[in-house]
A and B are shown apart, each in its own frame.
Chain A
Amino acid sequence: MAQQLPLLTYLLRRGDDNLILGQRLGEWCGHGPQLEEDIALANRALDVIGQARNYLQYAGEVEGKQRTEDDLAFLRPEREFVNCKLVEQHNGDYAHTMVRSFLYDAWHLPLQKALTKSSDERIAAIAGKAVKEISYHLRASSDWVIRFGDGTAESKERAQNALNALWTYTGELFVQDEVDQALIKAGVAPDMAKIKAEFDRTMDRVLAEATLERPADAYMATGGRQGVHSEHMGLLLAEMQYLQRAYPGAEW
Chain B
Amino acid sequence: MNIQPPVKVFKRKAKPRTLADQNKNMENQELEERFQEKVDAELKIEPKDWMPEKYRKTLVRQISQHAHSEVVGMLPEGNWIGRAPSLKRKAILLAKVQDEAGHGLYLYSAAETLGTTREKTVEDLLSGKAKYSSIFNYPTLTWADIGAVGWLVDGAAIMNQVMLCRTSYGPYARAMVRICKEESFHQRQGYEIMSVLSKGTPEQLEMAQDALNRWWWPSLMMFGPSDAESPNSAASMKWKIKRQSNDELRQIFIDRTVQQAEVIGLTIPDPDLKWNEEAKKYAWGTIDWTEFNNVVAGNGPCNKERLVARNKAHDEGAWVREAAMAYAAKKAKQKAA
Contacts and interface: CB of A to CB of B under 8 A. Distances in A.
Interface of A: 19, 22-23, 26-27, 29-39, 42-43, 45-46, 49-50, 52-53, 56, 69-70, 73-74, 93-94, 146-148, 150-152, 154-155, 158, 239-240, 242-244, 247, 249-252
Interface in B95-142: 95, 97-98, 101-102, 104-105, 108
Interface stretch (B21-29, B57-65, B200-208, B261-269): B200-208
B83 A155 contact: no
Contact of B324 (A46, A147, A154): A147
Nearest to B89: A252
B283 interface: no
Contact of A151 (B89, B95, B143, B326): B326
Contacts of A243: 83-85, 143
B94 interface: yes
A46 B309 contact: no
Contact of A52 (B87, B98, B204, B330): B87
B86 interface: yes
Contact of B94 (A32, A49, A154, A239): A49
Interface stretch (B74-82, B150-158, B171-179): B74-82
Contacts of B108: 35
B312 interface: yes
Contacts of B77: 30
B319 A46 contact: no
Contact of A27 (B71, B82, B313, B318): B82
Given A239-B82, A243-B84, 15 more contacts: A26-B81, A29-B94, A30-B75, A31-B309, A31-B313, A33-B318, A33-B321, A39-B102, A49-B90, A53-B88, A147-B324, A152-B323, A155-B322, A247-B203, A249-B201
Given A93-B316, A150-B330, A42 B85 contact: no
Interface string B190-212: 00010011001101100000000
Contact of B98 (A38, A73, A146, A242): A38
Nearest to B90: A49
15 contacts: A26-B94, A29-B78, A29-B81, A30-B75, A30-B313, A31-B312, A33-B321, A39-B101, A53-B87, A56-B87, A94-B316, A150-B330, A151-B327, A244-B86, A251-B196
A155 B320 contact: yes
User: Sorted from nearest, which 7 A-B pairs have the closest CB atoms?
Assistant: A33-B317, A151-B323, A155-B323, A42-B98, A30-B74, A252-B85, A33-B320
